[in-house]
């Protein structure tokens, strides 16, 4: 029962000593007035905020602090703060820089066991001070004739796209048919030139028959896609009828067989003129079977 009054008496004694010594822990200071140096400061300029406060009953010591955190976007930044005197009066001296014009506030500051409330600051705009205004974004300038050129370019692009589609749909098939027609005609011209050479050369010996058989084999190969130059007359006769689009295999194999007989049998003569006419007839029948067909039109006589 005696310990509790003793402990209570010690606590009361400690509080009395603290009150008598004028020491406060985290005491809230009452700011009496705030002055700025310079009086007018601009955005980004370092300035001083001198806050005079009521120091009655406080034992002040000179304290300086510069460990302030970075402020939020656009808020003023505290560079340092210290407790001191100005004109014989206790003051909190804060060095700061404001980052935007107009009113803002320094955050509450704790220093030397004292807590100071937020201090309102207001930075001036250097542009406004010199009779100027902040730059305003202007609309994008349109070069002279820009829209006309833009529309023209768009029209050219659309025309080129339409032309490309037309070429892809109609031009390419036509060009392929044209190339196929040229290739088809070239094969026949080559065959006719070989027969003409045989007639102009004259004679009906083995060399003439060899030239005729070679020309016929080249024609059959070009028209069918099968290599007739590697086939003998018997192999040509053994081919199925579907090998060629025209039913000329019997006549062609007979003509090749006659050429081989006259060439390798050591015999001369033979009906070379009739053989040339038969070769031309076979070429005509092949052309009729393999000639490129023109596309049929809807509503035509064959539709």
Same domain, 32 and 124: yes
Q: Which domain holds residue 65?
A: 27-129
Residue 158 lies in a domain: no
Domain boundary among 129, 162, 197: 129
Q: What CATH number has the domain bearing residue 71?
A: 2.60.40
pLDDT > 60? residue 277? yes
Helix axes 249-264, 206-224, angle to 10 degrees: 150
Confidence class for position 18, pLDDT limits 50, 70, 90:
very low
**Mean pLDDT of the 14-29 span:** 47
Q: Check residue 172 and give its pLDDT.
A: 65
Same domain, 198 and 114: no
Overall domain count for the chain: 2
Residue 2 lies in a domain: no
Q: Check residue 91 and give its pLDDT.
A: 92
Q: In what order do the strands lie in the sheet with 27-28?
A: 27-28, 114-116, 109-111
pLDDT > 70? residue 268? no
pLDDT > 50? residue 105? yes
pLDDT > 70? residue 97? yes
pLDDT > 70? residue 271? yes
Residue 38 lies in a domain: yes
More confident position, 294 or 187: 187
Q: Check residue 103 and give its pLDDT.
A: 92
pTM, to two decimals:
0.42
User: CA 240 → CA 117, 125, 227, 247, 249, distances in Å?
Assistant: 110, 101, 15, 10, 9
Helix/strand/coil (H/E/C) assignment for every residue in the chain:
CCHHHHHHHHHHHHHHHHHHHCCCCCEECCEEEEEEECCCCECCCEEEEEEEECCCCCCCCCCEECCCCCCCCCCCEEEEEEEEEECCEEEEEEEEECCCCEEEEECCEEECCEEECCEEEEEECHHHHCCCCCCCCCCCCCCCCHHHHHHHHHHHHHHHHHHHHHHHHHHHHHHHHHHHHHHHHHHHHHHHHHHHHHHHHCCCCHHHHHHHHHHHHHHHHHHHCCCHHHCCHHHHHCCCHHHCCCCCHHHHHHHHHHHHHHHHCCCCCCCHHHHHHHHHHHHHHHHHHHCCCCCCCCCCCCC
Domain boundary among 113, 129, 145: 129
pLDDT > 70? residue 236? yes
Same domain, 108 and 191: no
Residue 176 lies in a domain: no
Cβ-based neighbour number of residue 227 at 10 Å? 10
Same domain, 119 and 188: no
What would the pLDDT profile of 159-209 be if each residue is shown by its tens digit? 888 888 877 777 666 666 666 667 778 888 888 998 899 888 877 778 888
What would the pLDDT profile of 108-159 be if each residue is shown by its tens digit? 999 988 889 999 999 988 776 666 666 777 777 778 888 888 889 989 988 8
Residue 193 lies in a domain: yes
Average pLDDT, the chain: 80
What would the pLDDT profile of 34-81 be if each residue is shown by its tens digit? 999 999 999 889 999 999 998 887 778 889 999 999 998 889 999 999
Q: Are 259 and 212 in contact (CB under 8 A)?
A: yes
More confident position, 186 or 5: 186
Residue 49 lies in a domain: yes
Residue 200 lies in a domain: yes
Residue 36 lies in a domain: yes
Q: Check residue 93 and give its pLDDT.
A: 93
Q: Check residue 119 and give its pLDDT.
A: 93
Domain boundary among 85, 110, 129: 129
């Amino acid at each position: 029962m005696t310990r509790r009054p003793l402990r209570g008496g010690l606590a009361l004694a400690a509080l009395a000593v603290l009150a008598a010594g004028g020491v406060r822990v985290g005491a809230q200071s009452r700011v009496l007035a705030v002055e700025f140096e310079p009086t007018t400061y601009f955005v980004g300029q370092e300035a001083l905020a001198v806050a005079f406060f009521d120091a009655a009953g406080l034992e002040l010591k000179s304290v300086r602090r510069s460990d302030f955190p970075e402020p939020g976007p656009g808020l003023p930044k505290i560079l340092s703060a210290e407790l001191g005197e100005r004109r014989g009066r206790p003051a909190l001296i804060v060095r700061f820089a404001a980052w935007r014009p107009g009113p803002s506030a320094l955050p509450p500051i704790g220093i030397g066991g004292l807590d100071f409330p937020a201090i309102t600051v207001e930075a001036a705009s250097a542009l406004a001070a010199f009779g100027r205004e902040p730059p305003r974004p202007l609309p994008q300038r349109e070069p002279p004739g820009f829209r006309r050129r833009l529309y023209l370019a768009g029209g050219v692009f659309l025309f080129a796209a339409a032309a490309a589609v037309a070429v892809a749909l109609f031009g390419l098939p036509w060009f392929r048919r044209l190339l196929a027609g040229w290739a088809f005609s070239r094969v026949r011209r080559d065959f006719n030139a070989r027969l003409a050479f045989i007639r102009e050369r004259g004679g009906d010996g083995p060399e003439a028959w060899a030239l005729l058989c070679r020309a016929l084999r080249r024609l059959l190969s070009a028209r069918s896609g099968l290599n007739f130059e590697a086939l003998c007359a018997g192999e040509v006769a053994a081919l199925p009828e579907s090998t060629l689009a025209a039913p000329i295999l019997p006549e062609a194999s007979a003509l090749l067989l006659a050429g081989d007989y006259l060439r390798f049998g050591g015999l001369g003569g033979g009906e070379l003129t009739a053989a040339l006419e038969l070769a031309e007839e076979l070429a005509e029948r092949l052309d009729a079977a393999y000639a490129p067909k023109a596309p049929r039109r809807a509503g035509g006589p064959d539709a």
